């Protein structure tokens, strides 16, 4: 599927999939396949997500009540499950995002003297 070379793909860090899913849902309710597509597309297909691993993540988020699920009809008129960010999930996303920024910034500062740049 991916048009990028294999070596440029990066395995997802532990736990970051949840964050990406929440971020994707910020734009509005979507179904599972669309979430996977969105993450792939937005990351320039650098992030290698085994699509199956999305489902345990979705269920984890539902259990924590950060997202909710509702039946709906997809763009091609098929029944599908739509996942929607809850208020709790929104707060969590803000929290996790700032945490992530701090982490990324800190790591970047540590790495900068040795090596400039790198994909965000």
Partner 1 sequence: MSRRKRMLEELDQDIRDHIERETQDNIDRGMPTEEARYAAMRKFGNVTRVKEDTREVWSFVWLEQLWQDIHFGLRMLRKSPGFAAVAILTLALGIGANTAIFSLIDAVMLRSLPVEKPSELVLLKWSARNAPNIHGYMTAGDCPTDLRPGAANPSGCSFSEPLFREVAQANVFSATAAFATSGRLNLTGNGPATVINGQLVSGDFFRTMGLKASAGRLFDPADDTPSAAPVAVLNYGYWQSAFGGSRDVVGHTIELNSVPFTIIGIAEQRFTGITPGSDYDVWLPLSDAQRMTDPMRWQNRSGDASNWWLTIIGRLKPGTQVARAQAVVSGLFRNETLHGSVPLFHAGDPVGPPMPGQGAPAGGGVQFRREMLSGGAPAPAGGKGPTVVPAPSQSGGNKPFILPAPQGAPPADRQSAPEMSSGPKTLSTVADSPQVTLVPAQTGLTGARTRYSNPLYVLMLAVGIILMIACANVAGLILARAAARQKEMAVRLALGAGRARVVRQLLTESVMLSVLGGMLGILFAYWGAHAIISFVSSNQTRPLGFATGVDLRVLGFTVAISLLTGILFGIAPTFRSARVDLTPALKEGERSAPSSGHAGGKWFSIGNALVVTQVALAIVVLVGAGLLVRTLQNLRSIDVGFDSHNVLIFGIDPTQIGYKGPQVDAFYRDLQGRLSEIPGVKSASYSMGPLLSGGLMITMFHWPGSPQDQSSEADTLPVGPNFFETLHIPFLSGRGFSASDFKLSASNSEATPTSAPTPVIVNQAFVEKYLGKEYPLGKRFGQSARDANGPASPGYEIIGLVRDAKYSDLRREIHPMMYMPQSAGGASFELRTAADPQSILPAVREVIAQVNANLPLFDVKTESEQIDRLLFQERLVARLSGFFGLLALVLACVGLYGLLSYEVSRRTREIGIRMALGARPESVLKLVLRQGVMLAIIGAAVGIGVALGVTRYLASMLYNVHANDPVTMIAVAILLMLVALAACYVPARRAMRVDPMVALRYE
Residues at the site binding partner 1, with contacts judged by CB under 8 A? 1, 32-33, 36-37, 50-53, 55-56, 59-60, 62-63, 78, 80-81
In the complex, least distance from residue 21 CB atom to partner 1, rounded to whole angstroms: 13
Nearer to partner 1, 17 or 93 (CB): 17
Nearer to partner 1, 63 or 119 (CB): 63
Nearer to partner 1, 61 or 93 (CB): 61
Nearer to partner 1, 63 or 109 (CB): 63
In the complex, least distance from residue 17 CB atom to partner 1, rounded to whole angstroms: 12
Three-class SS of the chain: CCCCCHHHCEECCCCHHHHHHHHHHCCCCECHHHHHHHHHHHCCCCEECCHHHHHHHHHHHHHCCCEEEEEEECCCCCEEEEEEECHHHHHHHHHHHHHHHHHHHHHHHHHCCCCCCCCC
């Amino acid at each position: 599927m991916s048009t990028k070379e294999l070596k440029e793909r990066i395995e997802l860090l532990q736990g970051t999939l949840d964050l990406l899913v929440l971020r994707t849902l910020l734009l509005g309710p979507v179904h599972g396949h669309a979430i996977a597509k969105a993450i792939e597309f937005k990351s320039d297909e650098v992030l290698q997500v085994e699509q199956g691993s999305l489902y345990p993540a979705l269920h984890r988020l539902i259990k924590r009540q950060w997202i909710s699920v509702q039946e709906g009809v997809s763009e091609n008129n098929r029944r599908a499950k739509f996942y929607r960010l809850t208020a709790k999930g929104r707060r969590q996303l803000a929290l996790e995002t700032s945490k992530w920024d701090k982490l990324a910034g800190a790591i970047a500062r540590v790495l900068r003297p040795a090596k400039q740049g790198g994909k965000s």
